[in-house]
Structure 1
Amino acid sequence: MATQGLIYPVQKPAQGAAVELQPGVLWIRMPLPFKLDHVNLWALREGRGWAVVDTGVWTEQAMGAWEQLFADALGGLPITRIICTHRHADHAGLAGWLAERFDCELWMPHIEYHAAQTARQQGTSAPDSEVEFYRRAGWNESALSSFRTNYGGISSMIHPLPEQFCRMCDGDVLRIGDDDWEVIVGHGHTAEHACLYCAERQLFISGDQVLPLISSNVSVPPHHPESNPLGDWLTSMVRIRDKVSSEALVLPSHNECFLGLHTRIDDLVGSQQRLLVKLQDELRESRRSVDIFKCLFGRDIGMGDGIVLSLATGESRANLNCLIAMGHAERVVDHAGVEWYCATERRERVCG
């Protein structure tokens, strides 16, 4: 099947099950308790057992699925190491549980490991700085109250991580079984997202950095409000396109494995550049972060949408910060402390 230039050559496994992509490479489809109801995990045969890439969230459902996988797909063989692409709960949530069970090492990028540890320790009381971040974005009191009440819920889906880990850095080569996997770090979705590329097998584990049907969430976090993750993401995507073969089979964290990496990256980058142009036009009149949702996402997002509102606000701020960094927008703060954005008088088009 081909969709928008992409080809999906492998039938997806059932929830909680696995299929073999190549000898010694398994695709596991782990259930999630969210609207996006699955995350893809990968098992790579090495020596006496399996290295696993990403883990799923810490829930009874996911642990039960793993128990079945241990007996069936993994053939009773142990997990030899855990590799986490990044800090989010659907990727690192069960890393600590698996490490304890099999007494094996956890491999993660430095920033991602410590970010996951911080998320676990943040508790359920929303910091004033985070509440103020969303207030400045234009949230009303009802949304802010809901944010305080529900703060930290997803962090409970991360099992305590091991106190020690093995650091992965961009350019490292991991020897897994008989294969070399190069670590290619992407930015934007998180600060130090690790992808893995085996040139000999023509396999690219893209994590959340490159997805076939949806775009990665690229958000400004409340603790780093002046950051430019979208600019980092655009640079990373071009770099990945230049390093990874167009013939590689892409193994993403969501949806299905696909062929057409360069086509997908070109589409994602081009769409984002066009969106920045559209947003620049929208800012001919002053707008808050919450006023540009329809421009960015094609629909309004209500103040009662909870986590969706948080993600949308982070993405809107990422687009606005990117325009500011490019010299195409500026920010002013009103007497109530709310931030407003408008296009600068220079009207150059973002795409050049």
Structure 2
Amino acid sequence: MMTEIRYPFPEPPAPGAAIEIRPGLLWLRLPLPMALDHVNVYALADPEGWTLIDCGFYSPAMVAEWDKLLAGPLAARPVRRVLITHHHPDHIGMAGWFVARGAELMISRTAWLTARMLVLDEEARPTPEALAFWHRAGLSGAEIARRAGERPFNFADCVHPLPPGFTRLSEGQGLHLGGRDWQIRLGQGHAPDQVTLWSGDLVLGADQLLPSISPNIGVSVLEPEADPLAEWLASCTRLSGFASPGQLVLPGHKLPFTGLGLRLAQLIENHHSALGRLSDWLTEPRRAIECFQPLFRRSIGPREQGLALAETLAHLNYLYLRGQITRAADPEGVMLWQRSAPCDRAASER
């Protein structure tokens, strides 16, 4: 395992430009209208055309960005394939746009099913299930009433309509792209069946393998009893078995890096530390919304609240499902979480 993380490419590509990581492998960067203000995209060259790895949000501004790239660093070849690592809008948003122009869509089955369902499920107002989810988490009545009157985020807002067919990517599958042989390894926790690609000293890590930030591990109204943190920790442990010195990881965000084994150990330890702080906080009953401080150790603003709540519930579910904390609804139906008594924890371990 490497003892440090290094960044061989310390500066990202300029807008409309690309950096050649290896012959026939380009790194491009697209803007995002959020705190995490970019997504990395990679292009692999074959004689018949480019394979894009992810493609950014769908919007008029992003179409303009792609028009510049297609007329600039990608002008030598057509885009023949779009390989999507996972279903989140900043990675899949433009995929349908490219498919409508003749590209093949390559994606895991679960990612395609999830994205296709979400892009077709357009909601004018939050569902009753969403309102109940927020109530159980402890949001105030005023905040829930405000949300109830607003149009929620919809995938259709920033994801181009997806085709009814795709090429499936599966665990262990081999691909030949960009003059290299790649093996697919699927990750879990941040997104179901997230594709990572491994080829000798190169790893296309998507959001499963990020260098300086941790991806959101969240529980949503779609699956409120889910345990994504356990899936995430298991994936980090499994993928660490494939890490080796000298691998260059090309992530979905931030900078390419080396030191993957160390980074995976850090990601695991960061969550175990957060779980310990959360358990210490729950010496008395707390609402989920009251658990931000021990987890994030900073104030959470309104724009961050949704992701923060999802991550908090992931950590609470993890502790609860292992008998380390209890939960019970108060008279108003708000869920209260509290650390288990020592005898309760011992019983859960037997």
Return the TM-score normalized by structure 1: 0.93
Contact 1:89–1:155, Cα closer than 8 Å, also in 2:
no
Q: Separation in 1 of the partners of 2:232 and 2:91?
A: 19
Structure 2 gap ranges (5+): none
Local SS of the residue matching 2:100: helix
Q: Which runs of 4+ in 1 moved over 6 A?
A: none
Moved more, 205-214 or 68-77: 68-77
Q: Separation in 2 of the partners of 1:147 and 1:107?
A: 36
Moved more, 9-18 or 130-139: 9-18
Contact 2:119–2:154, Cα closer than 8 Å, also in 1:
no
In structure 2, the partner of 1:211 is 210
In structure 2, the partner of 1:40 is 40
In structure 1, the partner of 2:334 is 338
Local SS of the residue matching 2:241: helix
Contact 1:189–1:219, Cα closer than 8 Å, also in 2:
yes
Structure 1 gap ranges (5+): none
Alignment map for 1:74-89 (pairs within 5 Å): 74-89=74-89
Q: Separation in 2 of the partners of 1:150 and 1:244?
A: 44
Contact 2:104–2:167, Cα closer than 8 Å, also in 1:
yes
**Identity rate of aligned residues, in percent?**
35
Cα distance change, pair 246–239 in 1 and its aligned pair in 2 (3 A): farther
Residue type matched to 1:234 in 2? L
Q: Is 1:287 aligned to 2:323, yes or no?
A: no
Deviation (angstroms), 1:152: 2.4
Q: Separation in 2 of the partners of 1:20 and 1:214?
A: 24
**Aligned Cα RMSD in Å?**
1.7
In structure 2, the partner of 1:327 is 323
In structure 2, the partner of 1:198 is 199
Deviation (angstroms), 1:153: 4.2
Residue type matched to 1:215 in 2? S
Residue type matched to 1:22 in 2? R
Deviation (angstroms), 1:143: 2.3
Deviation (angstroms), 1:324: 1.3
Alignment map for 1:62-211 (pairs within 5 Å): 62-101=62-101, 103-124=102-123, 125-148=125-148, 149-199=150-200, 202-211=201-210
Residue type matched to 1:163 in 2? P
In structure 2, the partner of 1:261 is 260
Deviation (angstroms), 1:227: 0.9
Deviation (angstroms), 1:133: 0.6
Residue type matched to 2:291 in 1? I
User: Paired residues, what number?
Assistant: 340
Moved more, 239-248 or 334-343: 239-248
Q: Separation in 2 of the partners of 1:270 and 1:311?
A: 21
1:254-280, Cα deviation, whole Å (9 max, x unpaired): 111111111111111111111111111
Residue type matched to 1:40 in 2? N
Cα distance change, pair 285–268 in 1 and its aligned pair in 2 (3 A): same
